[in-house]
Amino acid sequence: MDARTVSTLMEVVRGLVPSDTSIAVTDAQRYLYYQPSRRIDLKIRPGDRIREGSASHKALIVRQNVSERIDGSVLGVPYYGMAVPIVDNGVPQGCVTAILPSMPTSSPPLLTIRTEDRWLPVPHEEILVLEADNRKTKVLSERGTGIHRASLSELEELLPAHTFVRCHRAFIVNVHQIAEILPDFHSTLQLIMKDKSRVPVSQTYAGHFRKLLGF
């Protein structure tokens, strides 16, 4: 698609979706246009390759509309994508995707974790780190450490994306609980949390993490 076609598409799309929806337009392989919103920003740049597992990618593969939650491991932030492919004579030419935060829930702003002999309700602001633990999640908090029955990916969809950020396949951190950020080997990072614990930022998530925190 050329710039004129993209511009025409955007004029149509802007009239169909709420103003706080992020919009992505692709050709068959790369992003041509991305407009973030106040509610969600996936840090996509024109020219970036379409990430496998994204809503745009799925719509181009199946050549049908796709509406579903996308895991945060794909683009760094979990989101709900509504993607419409552009198909010409059976060949996908591009895609237009509306991007929203993961569907809101009515859950209270806390997690209840299990310790050896009790349950602890922990407010979000007191959570430091979440770690994958055999299909459950280990939660490190100011009140203590315990296990939550949901998986790390399930909690990633429930927790506010602007506060809880995936930094590794096995870790999510509360960005307000980070005390220091140290460089590590091969473009990775080490996070020093306020309780002095250390959390790795893997190469997969380091770029998004830098953009999100602005360094």
Neighbouring CB atoms inside 10 A of 170's CB total 16
CATH superfamily placement of domain 3-101: GAF domain (3.30.450.40)
**Element containing residue 75 per DSSP (H, E):** helix 72-75
State pLDDT tens for residues 24-38. 999 999 999 998 887
| Assigned fold of 110-213 | OB fold (Dihydrolipoamide Acetyltransferase, E2P) (2.40.50)
Q: Quick one: pLDDT at residue 106? A: 54
Q: Quick one: pLDDT at residue 62? A: 94
| Residue labelled with tokens 């407010």 | 123
Q: Nearest-CA neighbor of 33 among 66, 61, 62, 11?
A: 11
Could you tell me the pLDDT band of residue 141, with boundaries at 50, 70 and 90?
very high
**Element containing residue 57 per DSSP (H, E):** helix 55-62
Are the folds of 3-101 and 110-213 the same?
no
Contact 78, 84 (CB under 8 A): no
- In DSSP terms, which residues pair with 80 in a beta bridge? 69, 100
**Residue % of the chain over a pLDDT of 70:** 88
The DSSP 8-state label assigned to residue 175 in this structure reads G
- In DSSP terms, which residues pair with 165 in a beta bridge? 173
Domain ranges of the chain: 3-101, 110-213
CA angle 54, 185, 203 (to 5 degrees): 0
d(CA 190, CA 212): 16
State yes or no: pLDDT of 182 exceeds 90.
yes
Could you tell me the pLDDT band of residue 72, with boundaries at 50, 70 and 90?
confident
Could you tell me the pLDDT band of residue 143, with boundaries at 50, 70 and 90?
very high
d(CA 109, CA 146): 17
Q: Quick one: pLDDT at residue 109? A: 86
